[in-house]
Amino acid sequence: MTGVQTCALPISGPTVFAAASMKTALDEIDALFTAKTGKTVTVSYAASSALAKQIEQGAPADVFVSADIPWMDYVAQKGLIKPETRFDLLGNDLVLVAPAPTTEKVDIGPGAPLAAKVGDGKIATGDVNSVPVGKYAKAAFEKLGIWAEVSPKIAGAENVRAALGLVARGEAKYGIVYATDAKSEPKVAVVGVFPESSHPPIVYPVAVTRDSASPDAKAYVEFLKGPEATKIFTGQGFTVLKH
Protein backbone atom coordinates (compact mmCIF):
# COMPACT_ATOMS: atom_id res chain seq x y z
CA MET A 1 0.00 0.00 0.00
CA THR A 2 1.46 3.28 -1.10
CA GLY A 3 1.33 6.25 1.19
CA VAL A 4 -0.30 9.44 0.00
CA GLN A 5 1.82 12.51 0.45
CA THR A 6 0.00 15.61 1.59
CA CYS A 7 1.20 19.16 1.45
CA ALA A 8 0.32 21.60 4.17
CA LEU A 9 -2.02 24.24 2.86
CA PRO A 10 -1.03 27.86 3.50
CA ILE A 11 -2.74 29.43 6.50
CA SER A 12 -4.40 32.81 6.24
CA GLY A 13 -2.04 35.57 7.33
CA PRO A 14 -2.29 39.36 7.48
CA THR A 15 -4.49 41.57 5.33
CA VAL A 16 -2.46 44.41 3.84
CA PHE A 17 -3.72 47.68 2.36
CA ALA A 18 -0.92 48.95 0.11
CA ALA A 19 -0.38 51.82 -2.30
CA ALA A 20 -0.96 50.74 -5.92
CA SER A 21 2.64 51.59 -6.87
CA MET A 22 3.89 48.78 -4.64
CA LYS A 23 2.11 45.96 -6.50
CA THR A 24 4.98 44.56 -8.58
CA ALA A 25 7.48 44.43 -5.72
CA LEU A 26 5.03 43.50 -2.99
CA ASP A 27 3.49 40.60 -4.93
CA GLU A 28 6.95 39.05 -5.11
CA ILE A 29 7.71 39.77 -1.46
CA ASP A 30 4.38 38.35 -0.31
CA ALA A 31 4.97 35.13 -2.25
CA LEU A 32 8.32 34.82 -0.49
CA PHE A 33 6.72 35.52 2.90
CA THR A 34 4.18 32.75 2.25
CA ALA A 35 6.90 30.32 1.14
CA LYS A 36 8.87 30.98 4.32
CA THR A 37 6.05 31.10 6.87
CA GLY A 38 3.18 29.15 5.33
CA LYS A 39 0.96 32.22 5.86
CA THR A 40 -0.85 33.79 2.92
CA VAL A 41 -1.02 37.56 2.58
CA THR A 42 -4.24 39.16 1.38
CA VAL A 43 -3.52 42.47 -0.33
CA SER A 44 -5.76 45.30 -1.44
CA TYR A 45 -4.02 47.73 -3.80
CA ALA A 46 -5.44 51.20 -4.41
CA ALA A 47 -4.61 54.87 -4.00
CA SER A 48 -3.44 55.62 -0.46
CA SER A 49 -6.31 58.10 -0.15
CA ALA A 50 -8.90 55.42 -0.91
CA LEU A 51 -7.27 52.92 1.45
CA ALA A 52 -7.09 55.44 4.30
CA LYS A 53 -10.78 56.21 3.90
CA GLN A 54 -11.61 52.49 3.87
CA ILE A 55 -9.67 51.98 7.10
CA GLU A 56 -11.54 54.91 8.60
CA GLN A 57 -14.81 53.24 7.63
CA GLY A 58 -13.82 50.03 9.40
CA ALA A 59 -12.35 47.92 6.60
CA PRO A 60 -10.48 44.90 8.10
CA ALA A 61 -6.86 45.77 7.35
CA ASP A 62 -3.93 44.62 9.50
CA VAL A 63 -1.19 46.65 7.83
CA PHE A 64 -1.32 49.96 5.92
CA VAL A 65 1.42 51.05 3.50
CA SER A 66 0.87 54.57 2.18
CA ALA A 67 2.64 56.28 -0.72
CA ASP A 68 2.82 59.53 1.21
CA ILE A 69 3.12 60.76 4.77
CA PRO A 70 -0.11 62.85 4.85
CA TRP A 71 -2.43 59.86 4.40
CA MET A 72 -0.62 57.91 7.11
CA ASP A 73 -0.89 61.00 9.31
CA TYR A 74 -4.61 61.07 8.51
CA VAL A 75 -5.25 57.60 9.93
CA ALA A 76 -2.83 58.23 12.79
CA GLN A 77 -4.67 61.39 13.85
CA LYS A 78 -7.89 59.38 13.98
CA GLY A 79 -6.24 56.81 16.23
CA LEU A 80 -6.47 54.04 13.60
CA ILE A 81 -2.89 52.72 13.77
CA LYS A 82 -0.56 51.45 16.48
CA PRO A 83 1.89 54.39 16.62
CA GLU A 84 4.80 52.31 17.91
CA THR A 85 4.69 50.16 14.75
CA ARG A 86 4.97 53.06 12.31
CA PHE A 87 8.14 53.59 10.29
CA ASP A 88 9.22 54.99 6.91
CA LEU A 89 10.00 52.09 4.58
CA LEU A 90 10.75 53.39 1.08
CA GLY A 91 11.48 56.35 -1.15
CA ASN A 92 10.81 56.86 -4.85
CA ASP A 93 11.31 59.28 -7.76
CA LEU A 94 8.75 61.15 -9.85
CA VAL A 95 9.12 60.73 -13.61
CA LEU A 96 7.47 61.74 -16.87
CA VAL A 97 6.65 58.82 -19.16
CA ALA A 98 5.44 58.47 -22.75
CA PRO A 99 4.27 55.47 -24.77
CA ALA A 100 7.20 53.26 -25.83
CA PRO A 101 9.18 53.15 -27.98
CA THR A 102 10.34 56.75 -28.00
CA THR A 103 13.65 58.58 -28.03
CA GLU A 104 12.11 61.81 -26.77
CA LYS A 105 13.73 63.53 -23.80
CA VAL A 106 12.03 66.31 -21.85
CA ASP A 107 14.05 68.68 -19.71
CA ILE A 108 11.89 69.34 -16.65
CA GLY A 109 12.85 72.61 -15.01
CA PRO A 110 11.42 76.01 -14.12
CA GLY A 111 9.22 77.31 -16.94
CA ALA A 112 9.55 74.08 -18.97
CA PRO A 113 7.31 74.28 -22.08
CA LEU A 114 5.52 71.05 -21.21
CA ALA A 115 2.04 72.38 -22.02
CA ALA A 116 3.16 73.18 -25.55
CA LYS A 117 4.63 69.70 -25.95
CA VAL A 118 1.37 68.10 -24.84
CA GLY A 119 -0.61 70.09 -27.40
CA ASP A 120 -4.13 68.66 -27.62
CA GLY A 121 -3.08 65.57 -25.65
CA LYS A 122 -3.35 64.75 -21.97
CA ILE A 123 -0.99 64.18 -19.05
CA ALA A 124 -2.19 61.22 -16.98
CA THR A 125 -1.46 61.08 -13.27
CA GLY A 126 -3.37 60.48 -10.06
CA ASP A 127 -6.13 62.82 -8.94
CA VAL A 128 -4.20 65.94 -7.93
CA ASN A 129 -6.35 66.60 -4.85
CA SER A 130 -6.13 63.20 -3.20
CA VAL A 131 -3.94 60.55 -4.85
CA PRO A 132 -0.31 60.89 -3.69
CA VAL A 133 1.30 60.79 -7.15
CA GLY A 134 -1.09 63.48 -8.35
CA LYS A 135 -0.39 65.61 -5.30
CA TYR A 136 3.36 65.28 -5.89
CA ALA A 137 2.83 66.20 -9.56
CA LYS A 138 0.80 69.30 -8.73
CA ALA A 139 3.37 70.39 -6.16
CA ALA A 140 6.14 70.01 -8.75
CA PHE A 141 4.29 71.99 -11.40
CA GLU A 142 3.56 74.75 -8.91
CA LYS A 143 7.21 74.88 -7.83
CA LEU A 144 8.31 74.98 -11.48
CA GLY A 145 5.84 77.78 -12.21
CA ILE A 146 3.86 75.94 -14.90
CA TRP A 147 0.78 74.68 -13.05
CA ALA A 148 -1.58 77.22 -14.67
CA GLU A 149 -0.50 76.07 -18.13
CA VAL A 150 -0.57 72.32 -17.57
CA SER A 151 -3.55 71.95 -15.21
CA PRO A 152 -6.17 71.92 -18.00
CA LYS A 153 -4.28 69.06 -19.62
CA ILE A 154 -4.21 66.79 -16.53
CA ALA A 155 -6.21 63.56 -16.69
CA GLY A 156 -6.60 62.53 -13.06
CA ALA A 157 -6.85 58.76 -12.50
CA GLU A 158 -7.97 56.83 -9.41
CA ASN A 159 -4.43 55.60 -8.71
CA VAL A 160 -0.96 55.62 -10.21
CA ARG A 161 -1.31 52.26 -11.97
CA ALA A 162 -4.50 53.46 -13.69
CA ALA A 163 -2.58 56.51 -14.93
CA LEU A 164 0.25 54.26 -16.09
CA GLY A 165 -2.26 52.18 -18.06
CA LEU A 166 -3.55 55.26 -19.91
CA VAL A 167 -0.04 55.96 -21.18
CA ALA A 168 0.73 52.30 -21.95
CA ARG A 169 -2.40 52.14 -24.13
CA GLY A 170 -1.55 55.39 -25.88
CA GLU A 171 -4.60 57.15 -24.43
CA ALA A 172 -2.44 59.90 -22.90
CA LYS A 173 0.56 61.60 -24.48
CA TYR A 174 2.43 61.69 -21.18
CA GLY A 175 2.05 60.38 -17.66
CA ILE A 176 3.47 61.34 -14.31
CA VAL A 177 4.19 58.23 -12.27
CA TYR A 178 6.84 56.87 -9.94
CA ALA A 179 10.10 55.53 -11.34
CA THR A 180 9.18 52.06 -10.07
CA ASP A 181 5.90 52.08 -12.01
CA ALA A 182 7.73 53.02 -15.19
CA LYS A 183 10.14 50.15 -14.64
CA SER A 184 7.27 47.69 -14.25
CA GLU A 185 5.59 48.57 -17.56
CA PRO A 186 7.49 47.83 -20.81
CA LYS A 187 4.96 49.80 -22.87
CA VAL A 188 6.14 53.13 -21.46
CA ALA A 189 9.49 54.90 -21.44
CA VAL A 190 10.85 57.55 -19.09
CA VAL A 191 11.34 60.81 -20.97
CA GLY A 192 12.02 63.10 -18.02
CA VAL A 193 12.74 63.13 -14.29
CA PHE A 194 11.34 65.72 -11.89
CA PRO A 195 13.96 67.40 -9.70
CA GLU A 196 13.75 66.17 -6.10
CA SER A 197 13.59 69.79 -4.99
CA SER A 198 10.37 70.36 -6.93
CA HIS A 199 8.10 68.29 -4.70
CA PRO A 200 7.92 66.92 -1.13
CA PRO A 201 10.05 63.81 -0.56
CA ILE A 202 8.28 60.66 -1.73
CA VAL A 203 8.06 58.47 1.36
CA TYR A 204 6.17 55.23 2.01
CA PRO A 205 5.28 54.87 5.70
CA VAL A 206 4.07 51.55 7.13
CA ALA A 207 2.04 50.78 10.26
CA VAL A 208 -0.04 48.05 11.86
CA THR A 209 -3.65 49.15 12.23
CA ARG A 210 -5.21 49.71 15.64
CA ASP A 211 -7.84 47.00 15.23
CA SER A 212 -5.52 44.33 13.81
CA ALA A 213 -5.92 41.02 15.58
CA SER A 214 -3.54 39.18 13.25
CA PRO A 215 -0.70 37.45 15.10
CA ASP A 216 1.34 37.77 11.89
CA ALA A 217 1.06 41.53 11.30
CA LYS A 218 4.20 42.42 13.29
CA ALA A 219 6.22 39.62 11.67
CA TYR A 220 5.08 40.82 8.26
CA VAL A 221 6.19 44.42 8.75
CA GLU A 222 9.51 43.17 10.11
CA PHE A 223 9.85 41.03 6.98
CA LEU A 224 9.42 44.18 4.87
CA LYS A 225 12.56 45.56 6.56
CA GLY A 226 14.59 42.40 6.02
CA PRO A 227 17.31 41.65 3.47
CA GLU A 228 15.16 39.58 1.12
CA ALA A 229 12.46 42.23 0.83
CA THR A 230 15.11 44.95 0.56
CA LYS A 231 16.67 43.17 -2.41
CA ILE A 232 13.31 43.02 -4.19
CA PHE A 233 12.47 46.65 -3.42
CA THR A 234 15.83 47.94 -4.66
CA GLY A 235 15.62 45.72 -7.74
CA GLN A 236 12.31 47.37 -8.57
CA GLY A 237 13.85 50.83 -8.18
CA PHE A 238 12.71 51.88 -4.71
CA THR A 239 15.06 53.56 -2.27
CA VAL A 240 15.05 51.60 0.99
CA LEU A 241 15.14 54.04 3.90
CA LYS A 242 17.07 53.49 7.12
CA HIS A 243 14.73 52.40 9.87
In tens digits, the chain (243 residues) has pLDDT values of 444 444 455 678 899 999 999 999 999 999 999 999 999 999 999 999 999 999 999 999 999 999 999 999 999 999 999 999 999 999 999 999 999 999 999 999 999 999 999 999 999 999 999 999 999 999 999 999 999 999 999 999 999 999 999 999 999 999 999 999 999 999 999 999 999 999 999 999 999 999 999 999 999 999 999 999 999 999 999 999 976
The C-alpha angle with vertex 198 and arms to 78 and 141, in degrees rounded to 5, equals 90
Distances from the Cα of 64 to the Cα of 67, 84, 112, 143, angstroms: 10, 14, 36, 30
Q: Which of 242, 221, 202 is nearest to 26 (CA)?
A: 221
Q: Which of 24, 27, 53, 206 is nearest to 127 (CA)?
A: 53
Q: What is the pLDDT of residue 1?
A: 40
Give the pairing of strands 154-157 and 123-126.
parallel
- Residue pair 104/190 in contact by the 8 Å Cβ criterion: no
> 3-class DSSP state for residue 132?
helix
Q: What is the pLDDT of residue 243?
A: 63
